[in-house]
Structure 1
Amino acid sequence: MPAISRRRFLSISAAAGVMGSLSGAAFAAQTQYPLQSWKGVAMGASASITLSHPNADRILERAQRELNRLENIFSLYRSNSTLSQLNASGMIDAPPFELLECLGICGRIHHASNGFFDPTVQPIWQLYAERYAKGHAPDPASIKQALSRTGWQNVMIAPDRISFRKPGMAITLNGIAQGYVADRIATFLRGEGLTNVLINTGEFAAIGGHPDNMPWAVSINTGSQIKKDAVMLRDNALATSLPNGTFFDQDGLIGHILNPRTGHPAKTRRDSISVTAPKAALADGLSTAMCLMNDAECEKLLTAFPSARLV
């Protein structure tokens, strides 16, 4: 789980406006109001919100403000975000509900994955990023020292305070926050009365289905190949992780997802891992953990979350 987007080389194409061979005009004819989309960047990834509503412009503007509010909690790109402040000081009082809720989901996935999902890997990730920026790999002693500043059990979470047991600790939520933000935007839009929306914050969350009464069809382009069979979403979510989607080194050999047990990059046969679940945060966290797990371990992990599916 890196401090930058896991989607640097991931292009995800939602068939909201290109489903089958229909044009945008054809969609407009099938719906009471034409589909409208906001496209931008959120949590370091290409983002979009697609919906059909007479007040779409106003709703999309409000959704953008909500996205900005959530980035002020979770983004490691913003030095004044809640997460950045927590990492800088080692504690934060009166944490926002969203951060507490997201960390609660992290704890569930950490436990079910036997520790493979661990947001406290940030010190190791920083070590790799800094050393490879200088043209060489981190030495074993440095990795061991960074590992000593990790461990989910060293994160103290209470309604009034989040703190670290050890100095020099830091967490990254980039293995789950994109999905969590998608869920929060979905909650916001449901509150606006919307029933057919596709949200993409690097991970997908669907409210209902497409306005033409079909599911939302999402195809995944990993850069090297496009999966031919679209994933159909209706009141569901989809997350994809690329074990080798981003690299620390110039040669593209050292992947960005690090094993919290060893401090070494993930070794996996999979080019990409996609998971569906009722919530995007759950799908996001599970797909991240599975980058470090073999087939049997992945299967066991899914038994703890019966509503989730490996695509």
Structure 2
Amino acid sequence: MKRRNFIQASLGLGIWPMAVTAQHQALIWRDITFTGLGTVLTLRAAHVDAKALDFALQRARKVIERIEDEMSLFRPDSALSRFNASGVLIRPSADLLKILRISQYLAKRSHGAFDVTVQPLWQLYAQAQKEGRLPAADEVDQARKKVGWQRLLVTADRLAFAQPDMGVSLNGIAQGYAADQVRASLVRDGVAHALINTGEWAAIGLAEGKRPWMLGIADPHRADHWLTRVTMQGWSLATSADDQCMFSADRKHHHIFDPHTGYSPYDIASVSVAAPTCTVADALTKVLFVGGYDRAMHLAKAWGVLALVVLKNGNWIASDNFPHAAG
């Protein structure tokens, strides 16, 4: 799945001034870039001890590898791939169990707007695309009947589907979950400041050790244009957009599905959500997408998060307290 990065570190955050205070001279910085979770990941982190920092970054990469082993649909031997193939998984891992329980809670509270069992729809559209067409209405209807979070059975001992031919995709939440898990790992290892990009974004401390991390949110239809800058003061940030994975050139059909209809929401081009955790931010981009432009700000307020929502025509609206950067 090809993804464009809709959030980027903004305004020269990779350039560190030579003149710094003695307090900040003690910080050692490292940057690493690697692939995982279907995208390019980056970590920038600081610690007062070089060996401890290197160890912390190694452990952070192992966190990503662990999550991929459990949740990646790009790996045929992952726990999730094996579950989808057999319909049953005995004694799921703590990570997989946790993310599925969170997903089921979000599905219930959103009345099914967020639903990890949309995998049959993804498979249908992907296969039709290979054949150079869009799915017929009756095909969409048949795939939609295989979707339903209530028919995903989640217990500590066993995962199972209540009907045949169901499937789970965690692509709508796993990157956010990974950001939270990496942040927790870095904090445990004593990292003082970090910017974490797993496809979604989380932060620790401050940029340069003295000012808030700042990110830019891209226009979904103009790759060289940035809508606004955001300060990461206590927030995690996630974005979903209609051109991250398209099934039609007009972007009417893409990877975000309304589980109730089997089609992509018609009016929104992108949603960015700022939330206390990246797991929630990631999932709620889909909830607001499905809810539609007119309800997006109401839904954001109801969930206790902040949002920026872009219409297909390029107009956009943001929550009153969305963390825009000044200047």
| TM-score, scaled relative to structure 1 | 0.89
Letter in 1 for 2:159: I
**Identical pairs, percent:** 33
- Is 1:281 paired with 2:276? no
- Identify which of structures 1 and 2 has the higher relative contact order when contacts are C-alpha pairs closer than 8 Å and 6+ apart: 1
Unmatched tracts of structure 2, length 5 or more: 309-327
State the Cα distance separating 1:303 from its structure 2 match. Answer: 4.0
Q: Residues 249 and 271 of structure 1: is their aligned pair in 2 closer, same or farther, counting only changes over 3 Å?
A: closer
Q: Distance in 1 between matches of 2:234 and 2:19?
A: 20
Q: 8 Å contact 1:207–1:234 — kept in the other structure? A: no
- Give the alignment of 1:7-26 within 5 angstroms: 8-15=3-10, 18-19=12-13, 23-26=15-18
Q: Distance in 1 between matches of 2:175 and 2:19?
A: 28
Letter in 1 for 2:257: L
Q: Distance in 2 between matches of 1:237 and 1:11?
A: 14
Q: 8 Å contact 2:16–2:208 — kept in the other structure? A: no
State the Cα distance separating 1:49 from its structure 2 match. Answer: 0.9
- Is 1:112 paired with 2:106? no
Q: Distance in 2 between matches of 1:290 and 1:246?
A: 18
User: Which of 44, 52, 57 is residue 50 of structure 1 equivalent to?
Assistant: 44
- Is 1:185 paired with 2:193? no
Q: Which has the higher strand share?
A: 2
| TM-score, scaled relative to structure 2 | 0.85
Letter in 1 for 2:32: W
Q: 8 Å contact 1:27–1:34 — kept in the other structure? A: no
CA-to-aligned-CA distance 1:127-184 (integer Å, 9 cap, x gap): 0110121011111221121112110000001111111101110011111110001101
- Aligned residue for 2:225, secondary structure, equals coil
Q: Residues 172 and 66 of structure 1: is their aligned pair in 2 closer, same or farther, counting only changes over 3 Å?
A: same
Which shifted more, 288-297 or 230-239?
A: 288-297
State the Cα distance separating 1:297 from its structure 2 match. Answer: 3.2
Q: Residues 239 and 265 of structure 1: is their aligned pair in 2 closer, same or farther, counting only changes over 3 Å?
A: same
- Is 1:74 paired with 2:71? yes
Unmatched tracts of structure 1, length 5 or more: none
Aligned equivalent of 1:144: 141
- Is 1:163 paired with 2:160? yes
Q: 8 Å contact 1:243–1:266 — kept in the other structure? A: no
Q: 8 Å contact 1:243–1:291 — kept in the other structure? A: no
Letter in 1 for 2:230: V
Q: 8 Å contact 2:134–2:247 — kept in the other structure? A: no
Q: 8 Å contact 1:112–1:304 — kept in the other structure? A: no
Q: Residues 179 and 267 of structure 1: is their aligned pair in 2 closer, same or farther, counting only changes over 3 Å?
A: same
RMSD (Å), alpha carbons: 2.1
State the Cα distance separating 1:189 from its structure 2 match. Answer: 1.1
Q: 8 Å contact 1:156–1:164 — kept in the other structure? A: yes
Q: Distance in 2 between matches of 1:238 and 1:128?
A: 28
Q: Distance in 2 between matches of 1:246 and 1:91?
A: 29
